[in-house]
Structure 1
């Protein structure tokens, strides 16, 4: 195993009933020091994969290696892994300090040394002076910081986080995302993070593994996933997308001419070789669309505005375009630019590079 690989899943499968595979032939390397997010909808296999790594679930088949050592039959407490859960899992009868000291006491660290390290860990998550309180006396955000300190206090080589911010409100969740990101950068610890929130994954991760139906659909950087999704599932799970259905008329390298269902033609990037006449779904991001001329190598599609929604920094138009009655256009708001009204005829311009012909949906 390469020096920079800390965790390796090799041919891992998991079934609970002996029939349905929740995780199918998982092969995944987690690099030392990286922040890797397992992203996907409920039931996609991401949490099960994390629980197998933690030791709370056993693979039906395959092997998991941590720093080159097989985890087969190794109990969770021997794996040198920190865990942070959505529900914090703090001991309500213990003080905050005792909660953070707990992993050290289990590891037989002398009390005075454990106390000093726990106080350092609480300072690291900015909870100085709260060590005597009980969990019930803290806010949700503070409790999550305690859980974080407890996971980091014994200096594990790997920290697993399972939807750790799911119980927090939007503003606090966004604040904690940056807290965790900055802690990771400062400590250099390896993090495997599970979420179903694609914005959270894009914000925090070095790389993202997108799960669906027990399989990694794509493993890439946040930018790679957003700009170059490998298939329609990834395109529509990461960010917003408009979909136009059609057939491939012709293909020249990575460019295809697509005839849409209403008869119009559209030029698009087509990363895979596709047979002429094959069905395809073209994905277009709402923020890449324009209502003015944007130069050469563009597609222009006529449409009709159905609804206008003002968002302050931008305006969202819902329009009827090329057979899609729910086509979204996201325009940066400018006082000098008139906003179309419902019922107005428009022409939507989009660069060919921003149209992506992928596998058909539906």
Structure 2
């Protein structure tokens, strides 16, 4: 983990948590995880990786097969969901269609037996937080998906829980609205100082919103770190390929010295790389390098690693162009070039010099993962 923290900072802890539905295969395997007070933690991973199951165990809708989940110093394993004082936001909103917005927000306060005046105050405050003051008397069916999601968010916050769980809450929204809501949720989190545990399979969303991201695969957290650390320093090939765009080059380790290694590619070229998951000479490795770390032609001259590549395709993105290259006998190697730096004389089939620094390429385990 990137920062030191003490037990008193911890709001939620999972200890040795396992979950099996059939008594044989484990959806979650021996999970140890501390979630800090006030942090925005995202559980990220492909379908079936165990992230939603962890969230459902924390919410109380699933019970661990083994291990303990604590909220503060309270053991949660057998506490029913409505007694956990945890806010929840789902993808499908789960609003009551026969109640107005204000009534939907008042509901969790009514069942907590709050006074009428306090309910009125809290509902007003929560509506202001999600900028829906003017729609208090509308019914969910009279609102857009984005507005309904704001109501769901306000309802999860209205009773001022110390913890809010969000399960793919923006999955049903279009791209522009999603991005807007990501920032809204992030700002609300910052303003209120609550702890948020967020589940998504969208790695862009996770990188944008989170203080830390836990990357799940096969019921195990592969890496948990701040977004920039996950992106720049993935600990294995799964994380490298799942977070952001990534180029993979396969090769064999020739030598390892301290934190660096020399790797021979399939065409006989050798490259210098940061040794992350490699042990000794003779091992296979897959190396990870981000598209924006690769330099072309004259910009490649100062790089420690230089190769030749064949230009296979231009892909236009407006502010930048992606070049698909064939490198060392492998196709599909991508380089991002700002639109202003593109050489108009380049054409498909050209040979380009490419290069990158040794510190920017990470020699990882040999397994191949594609999303």
- What's the TM-score, normalizing by structure 1? 0.98
Say if 1:267 and 1:336 are closer, same or farther in 2 by CA, change over 3 A. closer
Residue 77 of structure 1 and its aligned partner are, at CA, apart by: 0.7
How far apart, in 1, do the equivalents of 2:165 and 2:53 lie? Answer: 12
Contact 1:247 1:277 in 2 (8 A): yes
1:275-334 Cα shifts (integer Å, max 9, x gaps) = 110000011111111113345452111111111122121111111111211111111111
Contact 2:300 2:306 in 1 (8 A): no
Paired residue for 2:198, among 193, 198, 209? 193
1:192-215 Cα shifts (integer Å, max 9, x gaps) = 000000000000000000000000
How far apart, in 2, do the equivalents of 1:104 and 1:148 lie? Answer: 15
2:3 match: none
Paired residue for 1:341, among 332, 343, 347? 347
Residue 341 of structure 1 and its aligned partner are, at CA, apart by: 1.1
- What's the TM-score, normalizing by structure 2? 0.95
Alignment of 1:1-362 (within 5 A): 2-291=7-296, 292-294=298-300, 296-334=302-340, 337-338=343-344, 340-362=346-368
1:100-119 Cα shifts (integer Å, max 9, x gaps) = 11110110112332122112
Equivalent pairs counted in the alignment come to 362
Query: Which is worse superposed, 106-115 or 53-62?
Result: 106-115
Residue 273 of structure 1 and its aligned partner are, at CA, apart by: 4.9
How far apart, in 2, do the equivalents of 1:224 and 1:54 lie? Answer: 29
Unmatched tracts of structure 2, length 5 or more: 1-5
1:185-241 Cα shifts (integer Å, max 9, x gaps) = 000000000000000000000000000000000010001100110000000000111
1:74-100 Cα shifts (integer Å, max 9, x gaps) = 111111100000001000110000001
How far apart, in 1, do the equivalents of 2:149 and 2:277 lie? Answer: 44
Q: CA RMSD in A?
A: 1.2
Contact 2:255 2:263 in 1 (8 A): yes
Unmatched tracts of structure 1, length 5 or more: none
SS of 2:24's partner is coil
How far apart, in 2, do the equivalents of 1:22 and 1:260 lie? Answer: 37
Say if 1:14 and 1:349 are closer, same or farther in 2 by CA, change over 3 A. same
Residue 142 of structure 1 and its aligned partner are, at CA, apart by: 0.6
